A and B are shown apart, each in its own frame.
Chain A
């Protein structure tokens, strides 16, 4: 698990990622009690949103410029270099 080969290069996810995938993934998918609509008062609060708010968009852009790990779900992913 977590192993792939691209153009002759080998990638293997670290052990902790495999453990997280194996344990938390199925837990999240299967072992939770459905929450009724009338129980969602706290979950629907604006501050419970797990996706970054619009006010964070500039910070996300600069992090993707100053750190090498942008791409896919990591913030700004294309259009210009930000190479200054």
Chain B
């Protein structure tokens, strides 16, 4: 029922955008005339579909040993609606439905309702330009709901473009306020063991991005940021088993976490058909976790309308100070987890994608308007295979379709 409501809400959002396209276009052209500018933007709708499946043997729900089998289906819609020549609204909605063998083990009733869940998310942002070529501001608000938490978020951003157009700098601030519904493993609910004292998690992020054209064929970018989280940073239904003990405790982690990433990216256009891109990222946090990510991608363009791109990504991380495998923790430890997402491992991801964007679109049709055309502008498809050093592997397929409304 909830899923049907969400799908209904997304379609209502799209229909509203389609019906408003006429009105928006009218007010936009009035505004353009007033401002003496000829620039014209379209309403665009991006439809994204995703399928993800994973399997592994280190579930944190069962203390670091147990199935991690999970399947997830995702639908996301992003709508850009120009208000006038300087401002636009960005609406996005996302629902994902998943089945998880690991969360099914929170209680002993296997294949119960905890086996499946639905996550829904929405966002609303307004972006406005300070000058056609000098940058923009943005403000946003959003929220998401799952069976065991509710989250609200706020964001603000500033984009600056240099006078000659060769450099750009962006600053984005985000705040997330999550509230959990505390679901503990069944056998620990009334056991008198140490349970978390708060059900709130607040996250604050500041990220910076600087990009520069280095030559007519080469561009580079630097990115960094700082992130602070406070509150319940552990997961209430994760079990931890201790050396020489038969019964488990609920995972326990510090109430604060700082994160510091630093990244470098570059792209080079080789000849007329090939683009080479690489990125490198280093990360350190106050849980003692450090990681390096390196990726490499080539984009082959046999013609202007079609792109084929194989990609590879390597990731390595050093374990958090609080991680130990099952039955390796001491009872005297203050903080403890057996979540293998925080363990030491390396991972490989590789795959291939295609992007097809014909000059006049894939098809045009009239929808909800007798005078305006709706055009399917482009299609993209991407497949990735992911393998983690501890045996977890995953497959992911994503698809995007962009629709323009004139």
Report the minimum CB–CB distance from B221 to chain A (whole Å): 5
Q: How far is the CA of A6 from the CA of B209 in the complex (A)?
A: 24
Contact at B165–A37, with CB atoms within 8 Å?
Answer: yes
A66 contacts across to B, CB distance below 8 A: 54, 341, 347, 386, 388, 392, 394
Report the minimum CB–CB distance from A48 to chain B (whole Å): 5
Q: Which residues of A37-52 have CB atoms within 8 Å of chain B's CB atoms?
A: 37, 39-43, 45-51
Q: How far is the CA of A65 from the CA of B260 in the complex (A)?
A: 17
B164 contacts across to A, CB distance below 8 A: 34
Q: Number of A residues whose C-beta is below 8 Å from B? A: 57
Contact at A32–B347, with CB atoms within 8 Å?
Answer: no
Asked if A6 meets B269 with Cβ closer than 8 Å, knowing A58-B74, A58-B396, A69-B261, the reply is no
B206 contacts chain A at the CB level, 8 A cutoff: yes
Asked if A72 meets B400 with Cβ closer than 8 Å, knowing A11-B260, A40-B216, A58-B52, the reply is no
Asked if A13 meets B149 with Cβ closer than 8 Å, knowing A43-B217, A55-B382, A83-B238, the reply is no
B203 contacts chain A at the CB level, 8 A cutoff: yes
Contact at B203–A78, with CB atoms within 8 Å?
Answer: yes
Report the minimum CB–CB distance from A20 to chain B (whole Å): 6
A83 contacts across to B, CB distance below 8 A: 60, 235, 237-238, 339
Contact at B48–A50, with CB atoms within 8 Å?
Answer: no
Q: How far is the CA of A67 from the CA of B208 in the complex (A)?
A: 22
A79 contacts across to B, CB distance below 8 A: 121, 142-144, 151, 153, 176, 178
Question: Which stretch of B5-13, B242-250, B277-285, B328-336 is in the interface?
Answer: B277-285
Asked if A81 meets B235 with Cβ closer than 8 Å, knowing A59-B398, A66-B388, the reply is yes
Asked if A40 meets B213 with Cβ closer than 8 Å, knowing A47-B301, A68-B341, A71-B285, the reply is yes
B214 contacts chain A at the CB level, 8 A cutoff: yes
Question: Which stretch of B24-32, B184-192, B222-230, B360-368 is in the interface?
Answer: B222-230
Interface residues on B, range: 35 or more
Contact at B219–A47, with CB atoms within 8 Å?
Answer: no
A1 contacts chain B at the CB level, 8 A cutoff: no
Q: Which of A11, A42, A63, A79 has the most CB of B within 10 A?
A: A79
B205 contacts across to A, CB distance below 8 A: 71-72, 77-78
Asked if A9 meets B286 with Cβ closer than 8 Å, knowing A71-B227, A73-B263, A79-B153, the reply is yes
Q: How far is the CA of A45 from the CA of B342 in the complex (A)?
A: 38
B176 contacts across to A, CB distance below 8 A: 77-79
Contact at A47–B78, with CB atoms within 8 Å?
Answer: no
CB closest residue in chain A, given B209: A73
Contact at B46–A54, with CB atoms within 8 Å?
Answer: yes
Q: Please, what's the 1-or-0 string for A1-32, where 1 marks a CB less than 8 Å from any CB in chain B? A: 00010110101011001001100110011001
Contact at B70–A84, with CB atoms within 8 Å?
Answer: yes
B119 contacts chain A at the CB level, 8 A cutoff: yes
Contact at A6–B286, with CB atoms within 8 Å?
Answer: yes
Out of A35, A58, A71, which one reaches B48, CB within 8 Å? A58
A56 contacts across to B, CB distance below 8 A: 382, 398
CB closest residue in chain B, given A37: B165
A63 contacts across to B, CB distance below 8 A: 315, 349, 386
Report the minimum CB–CB distance from B103 to chain A (whole Å): 5
Out of B214, B288, B307, B347, which one reaches A28, CB within 8 Å? B214
Q: How far is the CA of A70 from the CA of B309 in the complex (A)?
A: 25
- For the complex of A and B, 10 pairs with smallest distance between CB atoms: A72-B225, A78-B176, A71-B259, A58-B50, A42-B269, A71-B227, A79-B151, A78-B203, A69-B291, A84-B100
Residues of B within 8 A of A (CB): 46, 48, 50, 52, 54, 60-61, 68, 70, 72, 74, 76, 78, 98, 100, 102-103, 119, 121, 142-144, 146, 148-149, 151, 153, 164-166, 174, 176, 178, 203, 205-217, 219-227, 229, 235, 237-238, 256, 258-267, 269, 275, 277, 279-289, 291, 293, 299, 301, 307, 309, 315, 317, 320, 339, 341-342, 347, 349, 353, 355, 357, 380-382, 384, 386, 388, 392, 394, 396, 398-400
A/B interface sample: 7 pairs, CB < 8 A: A47-B275, A55-B381, A55-B398, A69-B285, A69-B293, A72-B225, A78-B176
